[in-house]
Amino acid sequence: MSKWFRESPLVKEIPKIRKFETKDIVRRLGFVSPSRIYLKNYPISTPVSLFNAAFHLKNEELIRIYGRIVLGYYMYVSAIIKVDVPMDDVLSGDVSIAPYLGEIVVYPTTKYDIWGVEDPRVYEIDGKLYMTYCGRTINYFNPAIRKERTSPVTAVEVKNGTWEKILVTVLPDELREHLISDKDAFLFKIKDEVLLFHRPHMDDEKYYLTLSRIDSRAFKEASERKGKVTEVKATNIVHVMEPAEFESKIGWATPPIEAERGKYIVLLHGVDKEIQGYRVFAALMEYDEEWGMRVTAVTPYYIMEPKMSYEIFGDRPYVVFPCGAWRVKDKILITYGAADTVTGIGEIDINELMSILDKGRIEK
């Protein structure tokens, strides 16, 4: 029983369905290398690494990648760049060899992200484009303050590729003192409710995969306000799922993709206990008035694990870390961090994934 959050009825039952196996169904389309990115608005011409990227499907001919870059390893401070990639390059495989211009669009400026802007998720709400990222706060390197070291910060696109930070989500007052960090976050609007997917790390040293509500009026006001980052409280926090017995932690990977009417696919990552490798599994979720959304199915095994050289070997070995997902007809296009070094691009067949999810149906 969690002492911090309400638990969904199946929080401990869902992991029992899952096995420590992988049947990789992700078709690799290529990768974007930092060595072929040329920054047009910064004195250093190329980043050291480009990883954990989200993206926006601009149209059938162009994807706009929003990737995390590191320019040096002394403090590992990150920013986010945008890179426009023709869809033809993705489909032909030329994306792995072509050069691209990159532009830094979100970088440290506030007490909520001064030590780094990390792991963006990009999504649409009411026709606007939003980005939620992990901000390394002013407390991040302070050994005397082990609380709120990271926070979910949300920005809105104010014009083509230009972003303005609008809000940071925080826990209720009675829980803030116990929060070490909060990561893997994004917002999602359904049935006029604004939900926050996030993963708090509390001072009991446990990571909680959670789903919360935020006030829709506060969200709207923050979206319309200019020049100020507003704190918005997460409420009705629900612990959704425990890690499986073979995992040390799990986290939300990509915002929901509607597969069928009212049924949404969400990708997640799991970190195994043996080598701390990152793999990917999926859940099917539906709206629930009491719980926000509930898990109705989960893949019985991982659907992606590191197998390419650039996924196995890099700054952080054995990592595939999706942040971006967009539906393209009967496929889900994904962007993911590969070994914390490059950005991979992959493709998942929705019908194949739904067939796997059908094997992991969850009884109420």
* CATH number for the domain that contains residue 182: 2.115.10.20
pLDDT tens per residue, range 88-106: 999 999 999 999 999 999 9
Residue 201 CB partners (closer than 8 Å, separation 6+):
179, 180, 181, 182, 183, 207, 208
Q: Which domain holds residue 103?
A: 6-358
pLDDT tens per residue, range 234-273: 999 999 999 999 999 999 999 999 999 999 999 999 999 9
Percent of the chain having pLDDT more than 70?
99
Is position 277 within any domain?
Answer: yes
Is position 342 within any domain?
Answer: yes
Residue 200 or 3, more confident: 200
pLDDT at 363 over 80: no
End-to-end Cα, the chain, rounded Å: 19
Percent of the chain having pLDDT more than 90?
95
pLDDT tens per residue, range 5-14: 999 989 999 9
Is position 79 within any domain?
Answer: yes
Give the C-alpha separation, 177 to 173, whole Å.
Answer: 7
- The pLDDT score that the predictor gives to residue 1 is 60
- The pLDDT score that the predictor gives to residue 224 is 87
Give the other-Cβ count within 10 Å of 40's Cβ: 10
- The pLDDT score that the predictor gives to residue 2 is 75
Q: What is the mean pLDDT of the chain?
A: 96
Is position 1 within any domain?
Answer: no
pLDDT tens per residue, range 326-350: 999 999 999 999 999 999 999 999 9
pLDDT tens per residue, range 133-191: 999 999 999 999 999 999 999 999 998 889 999 999 999 999 999 999 999 999 999 99
Is position 364 within any domain?
Answer: no
Is position 363 within any domain?
Answer: no
pTM for the full model?
Answer: 0.97
Number of domains in the chain: 1
Give the C-alpha separation, 357 to 101, whole Å.
Answer: 39
Is position 242 within any domain?
Answer: yes
Is position 22 within any domain?
Answer: yes
